Amino acid sequence: GGIGSKLCGRLVVEKKKTAIIYLLPALDGDLKTMTFLQEVVDILLAYITESFDRETKVIDFHYPNELLQRNNWELQDEPETLDDILISCRATLKYAIKTAHPRYFNQLSTGLDMVGLAADWLTSTANTNMFTYEVAPVFVLLEYVTLKKMREIIGWEDGRGDGIFSPGGAISNMYAMLLARFKMFPEVKEKGMSSVPRLAAFTSEHVAAFNEMHQTGNVIRLREELSHFSIKKGAAALGIGTESVICIKADESGKMIPADLERKILEAKQKGFVPFFVSATAGTTVYGAFDPLIAISDICKKYQVWFHVDGAWGGSLIMSRMHKWKLDGVERANSVTWNPHKMMAVPLQCSALLVREEGLMQNCNQMHACYLFQQDKHYDLSYDTGDKALQCGRHVDIFKLWLMWRAKGTIGFEAQIDKCLELSEYLYNKIKDREGYEMVFNGKPQHTNVCFWYLPPGMRYMEDKEEKKKRLHKVAPVIKARMMEYGTTMVSYQPQGDKVNFFRMVISNPAATFEDIDFLIEEIERLGQDL
């Protein structure tokens, strides 16, 4: 790098009267700092107003190479002025995706809650780490209070149990798998997998099923990769291996078939595998299906297998009196993943892992780092949570959820969730018999996922089924690309199993309205009619 070839840094900094030198902690830096931060806030407030305005684009899309050209993004040896910094902030937001936009439906996490945002600004300002009570007294307490509340809602007696906020659902699921393995074979911690028989984990083939597509010449082959993305990733990382993740058949609407689970458990045992972990899903990524938790828990109990519920997406429905029945049986789980950053629209990231057994997380992950967790501290050490997880430092993800909960109350979250489900039912009713639409699965969706194909007029009466399929497969990608180029809306698509590319509409954005759903349909038809 060019570091070695320059004049003394400090001299240059002073000569150019640049960004950092007059800001706090500089002497008399207060005024300059307040002015600068206020200018940034003004930029952010303007961006927020714009984000909620339907007249603005969801995204000002540019291809990577083009975006690289559009601005100077390079890092230099020399500092910039504060004015340049403000320009960079504006440029970054200009090309950012407006995830708060009422017509942004692309991901499971959408929307921007104003109280959650305020809380996140406060979190950044407090700039601390969750590992000990000593360095994050309030946040550690709030995590304690909130996890207890979440466990009460799950249905665990007096909210007893344990838990942690982790960096996302995939890590929460991996932590659960780690606990399940440690519970059955505590010696794995010291001796590794060589001390353990071959393990088997089970999850629905439909759980966020994913596919790898190969285009070989003219032939489109769909190779089905069965099983959950994060469960497989976890198994690979933990040294269990993806082949030990056994996929359970799902019914037409994407729910795990309990009889197949029992069959596969027996089969695995016969082959010498030790079943240790079943991950049932409450709200699959693509279909939004809820596995039958009670039946699954009975099987787990019978075969003494850890019962995990991955409610990253659907767990929040337990906040709704109208929809919580979909999670019946979750109270029997050994562990539950629940991501408030999805259906509760808490700013990213906010993922909870709830664990029934107290003390297990500590035993599984602790290494007694005395420089952090001094046992002779002067306060109750049960609040030093850092040794419960693999991470040492842990980002403060709790405050935004806690403050939103205070602002809305449980009933506010309920109203918000109910409204999103109402919107998705509206969408479903609108398109299920509409010309040019085909539903990917029959019946009313259980979550806000509505999966459908749009058939452009020219394709509706095609005779050649294979040719039709092949052409249909290309429709959603083109419409999506056009959506992004116009910047009017965004919705996800994917293939699944033998089903070619279809749209997966999800609604988690509290800003969306019936009119936005109407708009989405009009836009798909406008952008797809010539295909």
Please list every residue from 32 through 61 that binds its own copies, using CB under 8 A: 33-34, 36-38, 40-41, 43-45, 47-49, 52, 59, 61
Residues 269-308 that bind its own copies (CB under 8 A): 285-286
Q: By CB under 8 A, how many residues form the interface with its own copies?
A: 190
Q: Which of 56, 57, 128, 432 binds its own copies (CB under 8 A)?
A: 128
Residues 146-185 that bind its own copies (CB under 8 A): 146, 149, 152-153, 167-171, 174, 178
The distance of closest approach from Cβ of residue 192 to its own copies in the complex, given in angstroms and rounded to an integer, is 3
118: part of which helix (H) or strand (E)? helix 114-126
The distance of closest approach from Cβ of residue 346 to its own copies in the complex, given in angstroms and rounded to an integer, is 10
Q: Per CB under 8 A, does 125 bind its own copies? A: yes
Q: Are 240 and 275 in contact (CB under 8 A)?
A: no
Neighbours of 30 (CB within 10 A): 11
Q: Which of 1, 28, 270, 465 binds its own copies (CB under 8 A)?
A: 1
Burial (0-12, 13-18, 19+ Cβ within 10 Å), 520: buried
The distance of closest approach from Cβ of residue 142 to its own copies in the complex, given in angstroms and rounded to an integer, is 6
Q: Per CB under 8 A, does 211 bind its own copies? A: yes
The distance of closest approach from Cβ of residue 191 to its own copies in the complex, given in angstroms and rounded to an integer, is 5
Q: 507-526 mask for its own copies (x: CB under 8 A)? A: ---xx---------------
Residues 329-348 that bind its own copies (CB under 8 A): 341, 347-348
Residues 402-461 that bind its own copies (CB under 8 A): 402-403, 405-412, 414-415
Q: Quick one: 396 or 455, whose CB is closer to its own copies? A: 396
Going from the C-alpha of 23 to that of each of 20, 37, 326, 514, the distances in angstroms are 5, 10, 53, 47
Taking CB under 8 A as the binding criterion, the range among 211-219, 297-305, 431-439, 459-467 that sits at the site for its own copies is: 211-219
Chain CA centroid to CA 382, Å: 29
Residue at 158: amino acid letter: D
Q: Per CB under 8 A, does 322 bind its own copies? A: no
Task: Please confirm whether the linkage preceding 349 is cis (ω < 30° from 0).
Answer: yes
Q: Are 392 and 131 in contact (CB under 8 A)?
A: yes
- Which ranges of 225-272 does DSSP label H, i.e. alpha helix? 229-237, 258-270
Q: Are 54 and 103 in contact (CB under 8 A)?
A: yes
Going from the C-alpha of 469 to that of each of 50, 118, 258, the distances in angstroms are 40, 48, 32
Q: Quick one: 28 or 433, whose CB is closer to its own copies? A: 28
Q: Quick one: 304 or 382, whose CB is closer to its own copies? A: 382
The distance of closest approach from Cβ of residue 442 to its own copies in the complex, given in angstroms and rounded to an integer, is 20
Q: Per CB under 8 A, does 191 bind its own copies? A: yes
What pairs with residue 169 in β-bridges? none
Extract the tokens encoding 156. 């665990």
Residues 228-257 that bind its own copies (CB under 8 A): 229-230, 232-244
| C-alpha radius of gyration, the chain, whole number | 25
Q: Quick one: 137 or 443, whose CB is closer to its own copies? A: 137
Residues 93-122 that bind its own copies (CB under 8 A): 93, 95-97, 99-100, 102, 106-107, 109, 111-112, 114-115, 117-122
Q: Which of 337, 365, 446, 489 binds its own copies (CB under 8 A)?
A: 365
Please give the torsion angle defined by the CA atoms of residues 449, 454, 460 and 466, in that order, rounded to the nearest 10 degrees. Answer: -80
382: part of which helix (H) or strand (E)? none
CA distance 344 to 17: 45
Extract the tokens encoding 56. 């603005």
Q: Which of 383, 426, 437, 486 binds its own copies (CB under 8 A)?
A: 383
Burial (0-12, 13-18, 19+ Cβ within 10 Å), 469: middle
Q: Which of 264, 308, 326, 394 binds its own copies (CB under 8 A)?
A: 394
What pairs with residue 281 in β-bridges? 310
Q: Are 265 and 202 in contact (CB under 8 A)?
A: yes
CA distance 244 to 125: 44
Q: Quick one: 290 or 373, whose CB is closer to its own copies? A: 373
Q: Across 249-379, where does the E strand assignment appear?
A: 274-281, 306-311, 335-338, 351-355
The distance of closest approach from Cβ of residue 259 to its own copies in the complex, given in angstroms and rounded to an integer, is 27
The distance of closest approach from Cβ of residue 468 to its own copies in the complex, given in angstroms and rounded to an integer, is 18
Taking CB under 8 A as the binding criterion, the range among 17-25, 290-298, 434-442, 521-529 that sits at the site for its own copies is: 17-25
Q: Quick one: 291 or 384, whose CB is closer to its own copies? A: 384
Task: Please confirm whether the linkage preceding 456 is cis (ω < 30° from 0).
Answer: no
